[in-house]
Structure 1
Amino acid sequence: MTQSQLLAKEVYLIDRVDNRKREKMRHMKCICFLRPTGKSVQALVEELRDPCYSDYYLYFTNSLRKSDIERLAEADENEVVRELQEYFADYLAINQDLYSLNVSFPDWHLFVENSSTWDTNALSRVAEGILSVLLSLKKKPLIRFEKSSALAKKLAAEISEVVLNPEQDSFYGKSMFLNLGDLGATIKTYVDEYQVKHKSSQQIDSIADMKKFVEEYPEFRKLSGNVTKHVTLVGELSRLVSKYSLMEVGELEQSLAVTENHAADLKTLRGLIERPNVTDDTKVRLVLLYALRYEKSPNNATAQLIELLARNKVNEKRIALVKQMIQYAGADQRAEDIFSNKDVFARTRNAFRGLKGVENVYTQHTPHIVETIQELIKGRLKEQSHPFFEGSTRDKPQDIIIFMIGGATYGEAREISKLTVSNPGVKIIFGGTTIHNAQSFMAETADAVSRWHGKSDPTSPKPERLRSVRTDA
């Protein structure tokens, strides 16, 4: 919510409840919106003992313990509290079908000792967040989780014990899942419509032409609203794509994810590592994908690629992530065949899947979770792999809430949104401990492995971020 929106609701001051240096303004009312944590409740207790305002309206994002309510009542000696309510909003709603708990490195550590053991504080926070999601949707779920995930089973137990904004920006809502080329075409359509209405003959063939047009027609900026903002954003995206060779990078990423083409992939990868305009993070990311895809290949060249990274002066800590990732998510650690390359039948299925329904070369990869959800929608998701925590049903679900331990991605959100559209009558809400990009995931992986002192625990379950699905409730 913006400052302007708050002012429209006659909200004039915003501050932290633990700031005790605030000026007393007894002519004003105070609205407190808090997570019901120990620190927040304690700060509110101190505030009520010495109130700065005339009336207090208390709203908590999750369930408040009875003992905390009693503490607040005892502190309200001045009888300034007018209302106390629980509004279940203990999560970040990114859009209408995607949410995050913002539980991510460096503020949170999911694991202790190894990938089989929850950090107690993280487990408590994640359970509280999921319960808030369920309560806000007024759903009492049948919980299913991936059988081989100890973390998912533990989280299921915790839950069962207690059981750009698309709304404000219509253009973003319509375009947020488009690739860069389609997005540019959509924006150009708006510009073309304006030209027709105002009989403009200016030739527009590129993003640069669109930016120039917007600058020269201030009335278009006023008419089109958010579209001009998106023209600027697409212009910057286009500049970055060109500057860092992201078209070539993206094509190789897709090839590494969905095809088995070792010689060509290796040649392209070596060429990109040698390019000075490709960032070090991108080079390491490509080597990580290669190392995971071809780990068991007899021609595996990961060692040579690590040497090539060093010769191109990539930071040693970044290079070390290659071995850390294999330790964390190598072929021996993964629960399922995410690359569809463990046997000849899987490779054949993967080849045909790659030819079917692909929008372009940059959208070949489909997250494995999509297949899991499709099986769930059809009522064919096997209990051997995804058992119910309590109870069971043969009915096909109409409301599905997915939670990913280890983090979700916008790419997964895009594909799941398409699933919702293609399955009328089924509503899917998707989220996770955080929303990852490559940088945040690599940083979290490096931190986790380094805290385990580089020791691999062969008895631990498979890594959570590289699973097909971590838990679905």
Structure 2
Amino acid sequence: MDAVSAMRKYISKMIDDSGPGMKILLMDKETIGITSMVYAQSEILQKEVFLFERLEVPGRESMKHLKCVVFVRPTKENIELLIHELKAPKYGFYYIYFSNVISKQDVKCLAEADDQEVVREVQEFFGDYIAVSPHLVSLNLIGCRQNGQWSQEGLQRCVCGLTSLLLSLKKCPVIRYQNSSEMCRRLADSVKQVITREASLFDFRRSDVPPLLLIIDRRDDPITPLLNQWTYQAMLHELLTISNNRVNLSHVSSIPKDMHDLVLSADHDEFYSANMYNNFGEIGLNIKELVDDFQVKSKSQAKVESIADMKNFIETYPSFKKMSGAVSKHVTLVSELSRLVAQYNLMDVSECEQEVACHDDHSQSLQKIRSLLHNASIRNLDAVRLVMLYTLRYERHSNNDIFGLVGILRKRGVQEEWIKLVNSILDYGGQKVRTSELLESQIPINITKKFLRGLKGVENIYTQHQPVLISLLEQLLKNKLKESSFPYLGASHLRERPQDIIIFQVGGTTYEESSSVHNFNKMYSNNRILLASTCLHNFKSFLEEVDAATRYSLRGASNNN
């Protein structure tokens, strides 16, 4: 199961099927993001794509000599725009591909609008999701929860994205869902209805053990998105924000303009691919090796003393230039991460977070949090993070001082909307909501402080916490996940351990959980696990999620993932 490969095949086919000759690629706001995640613009240009345009942008130039490949979501707005486009076509011929199922009525409307008979193809290609990596999918949607229930728009988008993912992977799964979550049950029901209604589309060759779709709720683990992260990819998203595989550094005055918009693609960046799941200490060592290697190759490139040397330089220049760009990019990113870690005392903050999340020593945790809240170098964001963690951990402790900590936040000048979220986090994911053993009591143990280099697992003081997802996956792979907590939908049951597992997390997932899935896929070669979700959270976007859930509003997340 590889979401990136599935999406790349669709995009390649739609461009190649239009035949030879120069063409334009016409997309909407969402399909531009979908396409850019799996194909570099330079790659698409090699396929004779002359121009990229947005369907909703008015005043596009008429170029009748070009073919037009259309890739859009089958929304009401896009159908209306296409009808308008076909009545006054700007291009020679149109090859139209929808990212999901389109109704017969909409196809009929398009046919009636095609008076000049410029449409050569209308097809459904099921690419209605963001393929972040082979095992990770997002819908870039924040705030689909309203008063504990789905918003109409949120449910519809998740059903479309999830069924599209199943179709692109050619999976007709057995479905299980989190019994304590009405939203999970309703999404499971809605997906099953689509599978039943579109039975011919889901008529794939059956495997000995059917694939499994497990739908879970973010509210069962509100701790994971509250924590600072220490693996490269997760740190980048937490401190700099990754949006559709791009990091924007234009707000950092010390960084040159050519480094303001950096692309992070595991397919086109060997260093990122090799290090995205490594911890920060390892990254520092690996960056040094990358720079040293580059310096050696730079000196060899400088020795152009003969025709043979010149020929060798020309032949190796593209890879040399690519390496130069990778070195500059990652040195810039790691330097900025290091600056932020030092400036905001994030190692002290993270140590306190891990102690609250993983150990049960109320007095010591409260003392450390108070001390950090009085430290002026700690960001208000991290101050709120610590108080939220304390609130979740000790909400029912007889001597908790949530009120006092909130008072310190006010004295610090923390914005009131953030302070209100301290209480909102209990409504979102407090003990009355959760069913998992999120915060198991542990006897405080002495953990030797060590820097991150080369350390893994709970021995590293900064990475002791494990997401609830890990426990769920362990139970699934042992075929021991309780049916009372995660019932099957309908009559289908799995008697054997599933090999292909798709997990959909309502309310957002994190790069920490993605890293866990990556590690499971490495450890269990006979299993294939894919993690999909409404969005990819860092702490800021999770605050939006909690706010939306408790204020009952819907917000798009196109710039937050």
TM-score (norm 2): 0.71
For the residues of structure 2 that align with 1:448 and 1:351, how far apart are their CA atoms? Answer: 36
Is 2:345 aligned against 1:311? no
- Amino acid aligned to 1:336: S
* Aligned counterparts of 1:191 and 1:430: Cα–Cα separation in 2: 34
Closer, same or farther: CA 256–14 of 1 in aligned 2, 3 Å: same
> Does 2:172 correspond to 1:136?
no
Identity percentage of aligned residues: 42
Larger fraction in strand: 2
- Kept after mapping to 1: 8 A contact 2:388/2:425: yes
Mapped partners of 1:359, 1:225: distance in 2 = 35
Residue-by-residue CA offset, 1:110-161 (whole Å, 9 max, x unaligned): 233x21x211221111011000110010000000111111111110010111
Aligned 1:327-342 pairs, distance under 5 A: 327-341=427-441
Paired with 1:317 and 1:45, the residues of 2 have a C-alpha distance of 44
How far residue 444 of structure 1 moved from its aligned partner, in angstroms, is: 2.1
Secondary structure of 1:9's counterpart equals: coil
The alpha-carbon deviation at position 424 of structure 1 amounts to 1.2
Matched, 1:380 2:380: no
**Aligned with residue 148 of structure 1, among 162, 176, 180:** 180
CA distance in 1, matches of 2:298, 2:110: 63
How far apart are 1:79 and its partner, in Å? 0.8
- What displacement does 1:272 show? 1.5
Distance across 2 between alignment mates of 1:430 and 1:55: 38
Q: Deviations over 1:344-394 (max 9, x none)?
A: xxx46x989x99942511111110111111111111112111111021021
Q: CA deviation at 1:227?
A: 3.1
CA distance in 1, matches of 2:475, 2:322: 47
Q: How many Å apart are 1:450 and its aligned residue?
A: 2.8
Which residue identity lines up with residue 395 of structure 1 in the other structure? E
Runs of 4+ with >6 A deviation: 196-200
Partner of 1:283: 383
Aligned 8 A contact 1:94 1:165 in 2:
no
Partner of 1:175: 275
Question: What is the total number of aligned residue pairs between the two structures?
Answer: 422
CA RMSD of aligned residues (A): 2.4
d(CA) in 2 for partners of 1:359, 1:98: 27
Matched, 1:294 2:326: no
Which blocks of at least 5 consecutive residues in structure 1 are unaligned? 201-218, 342-346, 453-473
Q: Which residue of 1 aligns with 2:107?
A: 69
Maintained 8 Å contact 1:254/1:365: yes
Query: Which is further off, 430-439 or 7-16?
Result: 7-16
- Report if aligned partners of 1:253, 1:286 keep a CA contact under 8 Å in 2: yes
Residue 522 (structure 2) aligned to one of 373, 397, 421: 421
Q: Distance in 1 between matches of 2:298 and 2:184?
A: 58
Going from structure 1 to structure 2, the CA distance change for 1:449 and 1:197 (only over 3 Å counts) comes to closer
* 1:6-30, Cα deviation, whole Å (9 max, x unpaired): 3333323222223342222211111
The correspondence for 1:121, drawn from 144, 147, 153, is 153
State whether structure 2 residue 133 is matched by structure 1 residue 95.
Answer: yes
Higher relative contact order (CA 8 A, sep 6+): 2
CA gap 1:356/1:383 in 2 versus in 1, 3 angstroms: farther
Q: How far apart are 1:339 and its partner, in Å?
A: 0.4
Q: Which amino acid aligns with 2:536?
A: I
TM-score w.r.t. length of structure 1: 0.84
| CA distance in structure 2 between the aligned counterparts of 1:324 and 1:313, rounded to whole angstroms | 19
Kindly tell me: are residues 394 and 356 of structure 1, through their superposed partners in 2, closer, same or farther at Cα, counting changes over 3 Å? farther
The separation in 2 between residues aligned to 1:73 and 1:165, in whole angstroms, is 39
Q: Could you tell me which residue of structure 1 aligns to residue 326 of structure 2?
A: 226
The equivalent residue for 2:144 is 110
Aligned with 1:407 (options 508, 515, 525)? 508
Residue aligning to 1:253:
353
> Partner of 1:468 in structure 2?
none
Say which SS state the counterpart of residue 13 (structure 1) adopts. strand
Structure 1 position 187 matched with structure 2 position 287? yes
Give the structure 2 partner of residue 47 of structure 1.
85
Moved more, 406-415 or 294-303: 294-303
Relative to structure 1, is the Cα distance of residues 223 and 307 closer, same or farther in structure 2, using a 3 angstrom cutoff?
Answer: closer
Are 1:5 and 2:62 counterparts?
Answer: no
